[in-house]
Amino acid sequence: MAIVELNDQTYQLEVTKGTVLVDFWAPWCGPCKMIAPVLEELDHEIGDHIKIGKINVDHNPHASQQYGVMSIPTLLLFKDGQVVETMVGFQPKDRLLDKIKNHI
């Protein structure tokens, strides 16, 4: 499965079923650039068990405001529409896998 670009109009629908990891990011953010390849690796390894989406906070302020995103990257893990984990800042792949595996 590929990483999905989300926006203020689509993110609600995308997080309602299953386990979804959403990355709130911006192109000018250094740690966001660092975590992008980690998310690509996760998508290749466990993409059949989880959906990964990205929301550009500069272009989609509604989603950021709704979830109180104050720093980026912020990663929200949804399970059937409910936020079950929140992670702020760069996260190593092992830590992300541990958090995700608790919900798939």
In the numeric block, the tokens 């302020």 are attached to: 61
Q: Choose, from 26, 29, 36, 97, the residue flagged as catalytic.
A: 29
d(CA 1, CA 44): 8
In the chain, the N- to C-terminal Cα span, in Å, equals 16
Assess whether 32 carries a catalytic annotation: yes
Which listed residue (20, 32, 72, 76) is catalytic? Answer: 32
Single-letter amino acid, residue 54: K
Our answer to whether residue 29 is catalytic in this structure is yes
List beta partners, residue 54. 5, 23
Residues annotated as part of the active site: 29, 32
